[in-house]
Amino acid sequence: MMIDRREFMRLCAGAAAFGAGMGSFFLKRALADMPVLDDSYPFFCPELIEITKPGPIIAPDGSCVCGWAKRPILELNFDDAKFAPSKKEMKKAFKKWDMYHVYTPELAMQFLVAWIPYAAFFNANIYVRATNRFYEDTRFLPANPEIEMMPDSGGGRTVFDAGAAKAVFEVVGDTHRLSVRFDSFSTADKEAADLNLSGGEDSRTSFNVDAEMSYPADHASIAGVHMTNPRRCHYGHKINCMETEGSVEFGGNVYRMSRENSFAALDFGRGHYPKKMFWHWATASGRHSDGKLIGFNLGFGNSPKNTTENALFYDGKLTKVNAVECLPPPDSDPERPCLVRDFEGLVDLSFKPIKTRRIDTKIGSGYSRGRPSLGLYSGVIASPDGGTLPVKDLFGLYEWVDSNW
């Protein structure tokens, strides 16, 4: 059964009147915790069309292509943008990142290499399921000279080298390779450190990862162009359900990754992003009970009613999803399941958080705040043949983020 936001609010208010009067407080707190979405500056594609032929993302007259594709077939010619008077001004808005998520039966890991006009940085984090602890470390380099980053997600290399911390991402054909070396990685429990609890004491260990991920040529992914205005855009490409093998060394332990039970996803971004951004993101990759690969990439953000990157994946095939809504839990009850649904009956999922973190960072006038959660998805999604697929305890990520940087 689909419940829209107004109905959700009405039901919560009714529960408050019937109960102890706290439901209204929690509802207001929940809505206050989340970014407020509006139509103030995003420009929507007049029509969300599938792009099937290669071509430049920016036309000779400076206008942006609008739509989505199953493969990375667009030429990312952002140097040809014409939304500002000078190249220097446009360069200030340019950002690029490559982020891999890797999930195994024992671990959940994230590796991000990013370049923004005033810095390059490498962030790595690891969640150990057996201990329910989360660890994180970040290293920075000056913005200039620019670090090597793959020109598009179809091939190339991204290299971040800060001496004691190095990451190399490489794409060759159907294979993605990830190599991470941290000689001195923080083993302070990030949540405990933030809250000044026992376990937050900092110590160091090596953190090394060698992984090879498979993205077969006949498997679909989702790529999309997002527009701030008709002449300013950014591009995202999500690859879910990559079977992964390799090894992880962390805290004196060695973990093996097998293609049968270890999966990766790529979040690739390039373009002239708005300074202020917010989004809700639901993503997961794994294996269905029938043994076939299953996953999804869902969400919304600056454009509250639509996104070009909503898609379901099953056995290498894509089912396109239009608008979705996400109802995360409030800070007062972070373990409450989150709901993720669309408006056409293709998605009806609940997300049970296992580990939720708080992001509340402020530097000068910039900030980033959010609630990324690891947990389990259950429910129903549409299958490529028009039927339905049950989802049961599929491990993945749900987050909302509000940033201004």
* Residue 26: φ, ψ to 5°: -65, -40
Q: Which residue has the higher pLDDT, 303 or 113?
A: 113
Other beta carbons within 10 angstroms of residue 334's beta carbon come to 17
Q: What is the pLDDT of residue 292?
A: 98
Asked whether the predicted pLDDT for residue 131 surpasses 60, the reply is yes
**Residue 280: burial class (beta carbons within 10 Å; 0-12, 13-18, 19+):** buried
Place of tokens 């329910």: 132
Alpha carbon distances (Å) from 248 to 73, 373, 386 = 33, 22, 39
**Bond prior to 145 in cis (omega within 30° of 0):** yes
Asked whether the predicted pLDDT for residue 326 surpasses 60, the reply is yes
Percentage of the chain exceeding pLDDT 70 = 84
Local structure of 91: helix, strand or coil: helix
Q: What is the pLDDT of residue 210?
A: 98
Asked whether the predicted pLDDT for residue 27 surpasses 60, the reply is no
Mean of all residue pLDDT scores within the chain: 86
Q: How confident is the model at residue 51 (pLDDT cuts 50, 70, 90)?
A: very high
All residues at 6 or more sequence positions from 4 whose CB lies less than 8 Å from its CB, including other chains: 325
Closest C-alpha among 115, 77, 74 to residue 98:
115
